[in-house]
Structure 1
Amino acid sequence: MPSSQDATDLSLHWFNRLAYLGVLPFVLGLWMQWSGVSFGYVDGRFLFAAYSCAILSFLCGVWWGGALNAAHHPAHNKLMYLSNGLCLLGWVGLLLYRTPVGLLLLLLCYVFVERMEAYLKPNRRELRSYFRTRTRVTYLVVACHLAMVLLLIAGG
């Protein structure tokens, strides 16, 4: 019978794979924008911004759920307000997706989430791999946002 450690290791293994695979739609949006390919009315810039907003909303939902499940945590109220505020900022970024400003706003939201998680993360050994992966993937996502901004500024 597998131990709980085996289950945790397997869960982290799949988390790591899915986290890195989650960068692929950003890369697809970049490629579509660079090459001028679109799928119907969806161009690379919109795909990129919409996916970015969806993932940011997901991350904010994780904070919301964490706040609901940890009412005793000293940052409980901050997490509730921040999750809603960041989600709304992400939607503003999506509305401004045709401008570099909208994409920079999304980028800043990702940086803020990563910095807050670095500040709030529990110091539990079994979560180190999780947070290490989250940080690396956030850096990749930020790099993709910067690349898209540069592509837009260059006229792509």
Structure 2
Amino acid sequence: MKDSLDTPSPTEPTPLFDGLAYAGVLPFVVGIWMVWQGTVVLGIDGRLLFAGYSACILSFLGGIWWAGALNRPDHPRRLGLTLQSNGVALVAWLGLLVSTVSLWGLLLLAAGFAYVRWEEARLNPNARRLRHYFRTRSRVSYLVIGCHLVMLVLLLWRAPGA
């Protein structure tokens, strides 16, 4: 029996989808650059920009799960996706709060992205209609996690007494 997700769809990802997904990495890179340069814009330093944007995107990814649970009442993991979407948003919020006083917040945000990547790998990435989406999402997730690691190293390197 064919899965309805295997049927070709007119909503197949486009170059616009890919472009927006990869462009979403730019604010992370800007935050890293701002910390590297010691730049502050409108009272916002690179660390706050980076952590704030990270929390926003992580919450957005949780919202995708929430929408998926709402739109697929027959999904076998509907309750789990609903609860996890809230958990991801709470981790993002906590990571943002902690990041203002500790590097642990950035590590928590990076772990949130790694968890989302791991969980998405379990959601049927081989369905033909979703294959391109999951491939792009995987690549972007690894870039974002890498940005978090670069930011952590940069902050440790720039820390007083380090």
Alignment of 1:46-65 (within 5 A): 46-65=48-67
Q: Does 1:131 align with 2:134?
A: yes
Residue identity matched to 2:117? E
Alignment of 1:1-156 (within 5 A): 7-9=10-12, 11-98=13-100, 99-155=102-158
Pairwise CA distance, 1:126: 2.4
CA deviation map 1:12-55 (0-9, x unaligned): 22110100010000000000011000102100000000000000
Does the aligned pair in 2 maintain the 1:12–1:129 contact within 8 Å?
no
Give the TM-score taking structure 1 as reference length: 0.91
CA deviation map 1:89-118 (0-9, x unaligned): 110000011321000000000000011010
Pairwise CA distance, 1:7: 4.9
| Distance in 2, Cα, partners of 1:77 & 1:8 | 26
| Distance in 1, Cα, partners of 2:134 & 2:93 | 25
Structure 1: which 5+ runs fail to align? none
1:96 partner SS: helix
Deviates more, 1:42-51 or 1:64-73: 64-73
Deviates more, 1:14-23 or 1:116-125: 116-125
Moved over 2 A (4+): 5-9
Does the aligned pair in 2 maintain the 1:93–1:102 contact within 8 Å?
yes
Q: Percent identity?
A: 51
RMSD between superposed Cα atoms in Å: 1.5
Does the aligned pair in 1 maintain the 2:63–2:85 contact within 8 Å?
yes
Aligned residues: 151
| Distance in 2, Cα, partners of 1:118 & 1:30 | 28
| Distance in 2, Cα, partners of 1:75 & 1:56 | 20
Deviates more, 1:71-80 or 1:113-122: 113-122
| Distance in 2, Cα, partners of 1:77 & 1:41 | 41
1:82 partner SS: helix
